[in-house]
Structure 1
């Protein structure tokens, strides 16, 4: 999963409490999410299904999600800042910024969009597949998640290429035949629109070992908007 966010310049683009999504409490993320949606000139969130991750690998899909999020924007950006990973195949200039969600407001906004969307999706999956605790662990490998996998086996939304899922699936990391589509390998081009301008931030929706959340007083300091 990845998101892209293009914030307006000036005071309208200044969002109170905006920060790296991993440093915000769930309540803070939800509040900032609504502000980003209300103020952004353009934004997009893209979800890569589990079968594509199994077929292509996580890193390839992360880059594809970033490209697709950019291609989904209704406003064409002049410049792209990506969180951590350089992304090729774009026809606009860009820069990969290490821990970009901590130094660039547009990247932080994208990280909040992606993280909140992912958490909401996990809550939805918890209702569809009770017993796995998706609403609590949000898909991360925890003792409770591992125990649920051992008890129930993987569900249709698990990634069979992951070590913890493969260990209990009995399929050596291979998804069921119905979950193995042929996926084209290529770059998703940036769609052109009639409007352009600004710097867009792009961030992923999942990161390993997120730090403990902090309170409402965490704000974005400086950075590029």
Structure 2
């Protein structure tokens, strides 16, 4: 594993950072950073990319990660900032903030796919990093579980859109609800599919 090799060279502690919600059209983008000291604790057996894990497995792993990690942090960027600054800015900003929130500070950062400008320590972007480095996998689980929890809360706050089911991604059911109900306060209004669905709602009203 990358983090083991880096730690053996005295470059630790090694943090992994990842995000969840980049491809959604509602709700925040959430980034997490995590430092896991080798060897990996037995409580984290089965840890891998959060997208490969069942919801039950993620729910089991999240508290275990928080318990055994040397440090972890979760940061959310809300739709208003995404709309104002763009999703790439939100993505990189959330990752920077998550890494900056770690205590102790890492000596090296492994990033899933991205190079993050402005980090105060060396970094290595790894394609498919959430499957190749345990610290990135842990960060991916923390980000995914935190964001899913937010979207379940949004389902209560803005009923009718199905946020608890699709988590803000642009499913057919979500787009149909958006066209029917109009945008909720958590929709990313800069996104073309959100604007198109809202325009479809306006067109339907004009035809009545």
Q: Which residue of 2 aligns with 1:104?
A: 133
What CA distance in whole angstroms lies between the structure 1 residues aligned with 2:194 and 2:131? 32
What CA distance in whole angstroms lies between the structure 2 residues aligned with 1:58 and 1:123? 22
Q: 1:132 aligns with which of 161, 165, 171?
A: 161
Q: TM-score, normalised by structure 2?
A: 0.79
The DSSP-based 3-state class of the residue aligned with 2:125 is strand
Q: Over residues 12-34 of structure 1, what are the superposed CA-to-partner deviations in whole Å (9 max), with x where a residue is unaligned?
A: 38711101000000000110111
Uncovered stretches (5+) of structure 2, i.e. residues with no partner: 1-29, 200-208
Q: CA deviation at 1:116?
A: 0.5
Q: 1:38 aligns with which of 59, 62, 67?
A: 67
User: What pairs with 1:1-225 in structure 2 (closer than 5 Å)?
Assistant: 1-12=30-41, 15-170=44-199
What CA distance in whole angstroms lies between the structure 1 residues aligned with 2:97 and 2:40? 29
Whether the 8 Å CA contact 2:43–2:64 is kept in 1: the answer is no
User: Cα RMSD over matched residues?
Assistant: 1.2
Q: TM-score, normalised by structure 1?
A: 0.73
Greater RCO (CA < 8 Å, at least 6 residues apart):
1
Q: Which residue of 1 aligns with 2:21?
A: none
Q: Which residue of 2 aligns with 1:181?
A: none
Whether the 8 Å CA contact 2:73–2:99 is kept in 1: the answer is yes
Whether the 8 Å CA contact 1:82–1:100 is kept in 2: the answer is yes
What CA distance in whole angstroms lies between the structure 1 residues aligned with 2:111 and 2:87? 17
Between the two proteins, the alignment pairs up a number of residues equal to 170
Q: CA deviation at 1:10?
A: 2.0
Uncovered stretches (5+) of structure 1, i.e. residues with no partner: 171-225
Q: CA deviation at 1:88?
A: 1.3
What CA distance in whole angstroms lies between the structure 2 residues aligned with 1:162 and 1:109? 29
- Runs of 4+ that moved beyond 3 A: 11-14
What CA distance in whole angstroms lies between the structure 2 residues aligned with 1:168 and 1:103? 38
Q: Which structure has greater helix proportion? A: 2
Q: Which residue of 2 aligns with 1:194?
A: none
